[in-house]
Amino acid sequence: ELSDVLCRAADLAECIRLLHPQQDYVEHAQRCCSQIGLYVEQLNTHKGLHEALQKVLGSENLEEDTRRNAASLMHDFEISGIHLSSGDRERVVALNEHILSLSHAFVSNCN
């Protein structure tokens, strides 16, 4: 549920960032997009959440849609470097934040 809420908030902020005619709205939406992106990256590299999700996936009593969603979240953990050392995970978060910032700047300058 948290993932869904974060995605909806990020989608709305991105829409405002790309389409709103007033620059102050665009700038606030940009900050919102960046903060949500950073928060998601931090969640995707959180060992405790990863371990809890592993336990959920190990359960035999999951409905198929719940198992599919959990597997999708597990994939997010894996591509975010959950298997790396703490220092390397922090570096991945920082790099992903930088990439997000550069991609937002690129899109903003395409207009």
Residue 74 confidence (pLDDT): 94
Rounded average pLDDT over 52-72: 91
pLDDT (tens digit, 9 = 90+) per residue, 96-107?
888 888 887 887
Q: CB within 8 A of 73, min separation 6: which ones?
A: 3, 53
Q: Residue 111: pLDDT band by 50, 70, 90 thresholds? A: low
Cα distance from N-terminal residue to C-terminal residue, the chain:
35
pTM for this entry: 0.77
- Tokens 């940009």 belong to 30
d(CA 65, CA 71): 10
- Judge contact between 2 and 36, C-beta under 8 A: no
Residue 28 confidence (pLDDT): 94
Residue 46 confidence (pLDDT): 92
